[in-house]
Amino acid sequence: MKDPLVLGFVLIVVDVVLWRAAFPRNDTIRLLLRLVIFALLSALLFGSALSPFTPAPWPESPGRHLAAQILEVSWWLIGARLLTLSLDAAFRSRHWHRERLFQDVLGALVFLAAVVASLAFVLGLPVTGLVATSGALAIVLGLAIQSTLSDVFAGIVLNTTEPYHIGDWVSVDGVDGKVLEMNWRATHLLTSQGNVVIVPNSVAAKAKITNSSRPVALHGVSIALQISPEERPATVLGALERAVAGSNRVLQTPAPYALIKKTSINSIEYEVTVYIDDMGKSVVVTNQLYDLCHRHLAAAGIELWPLSVPRPPRHDASDSRQRLLSHVDLFRALKGEEIEALSKRLSRHEYEPDQVVVKSDEVTDYLMIVESGVLSVMVTGPSGPVESARLGPGDSIGEAGVLAGLPVQAQVTALTRALIYRLDKADLTPLLKSRPEIGQQMCHLLSQQQDSLRKLNTEIPVPVGTDRTLLEWLRDGMHKLHELTS
């Protein structure tokens, strides 16, 4: 019969190899193999004189006696480890596997019990005296590491009550970030600046915690604006509601809203609140809201000017048209007298909600510039109509028809009451002849717009079988349409 000591150490070596080599790769299969090896080791020990519940045999042979002690103590430690892994696999939810606190604490308790049992059964040491001595030592250590113990017990409370999980966006003690890790000492947060902030569990347990990931797929974003009290609140609220309607990045349920937060002698504070389905969009949506509010307030004649500062004179209608043209990307390079000349050519048109402004594939011989209101731009994608953008004050549509005679590759509909100014193609031709660089800039901007439509798989009516780029084709189309010299 083979020596049980040799067979026992062979089984331990095999178990260690499986553990260190992480073989097989599947955790469950590897755990089952290790449990089988542990069962074989247990059968070997209990079937011989090497029971882990009795002192090691062969006291007359120091070498074999020491080897037997090592084998029996190893049985206790391996059993403790496998028990921890089995409990972890059987009773914990998936996200608990990533939160190490319970795994560490439970493992420590199991290993402590295994060490005490091996000292009592294998080595025959008096456990009562050991426990008394360790109790006094624990008091001394507890006083020395009381802050660490506070973090551990606070971590147990946090993991039990579960105010947040791995991957949640939270605000803890004034720190906003995404939860990366929760361990026995602290919570690790990844901020929007890309920094990792470590918040001790004792601080987190006492702090006010805001979890932006609950309920799922619903997060509020708010901005505040200070408006002069001279402006009528109903007019301001109407402009802010149109600004909110100008964003297609926010959820419509719950409905966004604007309200008066508080008033003072110098200003009235308004708050705009919208909801999004992903906290990763909060920065983009916040910046977009500020821009939309600024544009719609300006379109309503509301200037962000405090009462304590002298207000500049109000602009008349002609000045408003010039300011509107100067905000259009196509005309940013124009001089003041050129803007003034074009503004006199603008014609005013009003549209009611749900009224179609431009039909899909319609070739317009005029440029439309939004003065106020919100327009929806719908394009036809692979899966049907999809909203590509929403237009607000200062936005324009129809550049393709005015510059190169191309149809509008979208249907434009008024979402709210809208005021639009038109600039006819014939009024644009003299400017293109006198300022060729303006035409080049317009073609570049139009080329970028057409590229955006291509990303939505919208067909662009460019001739097939030509080596010219889209920009060159647009430039040639503009020259032919406006009878410009090359």
pLDDT digits (tens, 9 = 90+) for 335-366: 888 888 888 888 999 999 999 998 888 888 88
Q: DSSP of 367-379, one letter per residue? A: EEEEEES-EEEEE
The 3 state secondary structure assigned to 277-346 is CCHHHHHHHHHHHHHHHHHHHHHCCCCCCCCCCCCCCCCCHHHHHHHHHHCCHHHCCCCHHHHHHHHCCC
Share of the chain above pLDDT 90, in %: 17
Q: Which CATH architecture is the domain 164-211 placed in?
A: Roll (2.30)
pLDDT at 311: 66
Cα–Cα dist 85/445, whole Å: 61
CATH class of 219-299: alpha beta
* DSSP structural state of residue 164: -
Residue 436 tokens, joined: 């060729």
**Maximum Cα–Cα distance for the chain, whole Å?**
115
Q: What angle do CA 341, 347, 353 make, to 5 degrees?
A: 140
pLDDT band, very low/low/confident/very high, at 134 (cuts 50, 70, 90): low
pLDDT at 271 over 90: yes
Residue 469 tokens, joined: 């780029």
215: preceding bond cis by omega (within 30 degrees): yes
Cα–Cα dist 436/454, whole Å: 27
Q: Which amino acid is at 69?
A: Q
Q: State whether residue 185 is helix, strand or coil.
A: coil
Q: Residue range 204-218: average pLDDT? A: 81
Cα–Cα dist 115/93, whole Å: 29
Q: Residue range 323-327: average pLDDT? A: 82
Nearest CA-CA partner of 29 in 76, 9, 37: 37
pLDDT at 459 over 60: no
Of 70-84, 99-113, 124-138, the one with minimum mean pLDDT is 124-138
Contact predicate 388/428, CB 8 Å: no
Q: Which residues contact 422 (CB under 8 A, 6 or more apart)?
A: 346, 347, 349, 366, 367, 368, 369
Average model confidence (pLDDT) across the chain = 80
pLDDT band, very low/low/confident/very high, at 478 (cuts 50, 70, 90): low
Residue 20 tokens, joined: 């260190």
pLDDT at 366: 87
pTM over 0.75: no
pLDDT band, very low/low/confident/very high, at 98 (cuts 50, 70, 90): very low
pLDDT at 130: 56
Q: How many CB atoms lie within 10 A of CB 210?
A: 13
pLDDT at 256: 92
- For the chain, which residues make up each domain, given as ranges? 4-144, 164-211, 219-299, 328-482
24: preceding bond cis by omega (within 30 degrees): yes
Q: Residue range 38-56: average pLDDT? A: 86
Q: How many CB atoms lie within 10 A of CB 430?
A: 13
Q: How many CB atoms lie within 10 A of CB 161?
A: 10
Domain 328-482 classified CATH 2.60.120.10?
yes
Cα–Cα dist 166/147, whole Å: 24
Q: Which amino acid is at 111?
A: F
Cα–Cα dist 307/470, whole Å: 51
Answer with the residue of higher pLDDT: 28 or 440: 28
pLDDT at 59: 81
Give the position of tokens 């419509």. Answer: 252
Residue 174 tokens, joined: 């004034």
Q: What angle do CA 218, 220, 225 make, to 5 degrees?
A: 160
pLDDT at 115 over 70: yes
Q: Which amino acid is at 7?
A: L
Please say whether the dihedral angle defined by the alpha carbons of residues 26, 32, 35 and 39, taken in this order, is positive or negative: negative
Report the residue count for the chain.
486
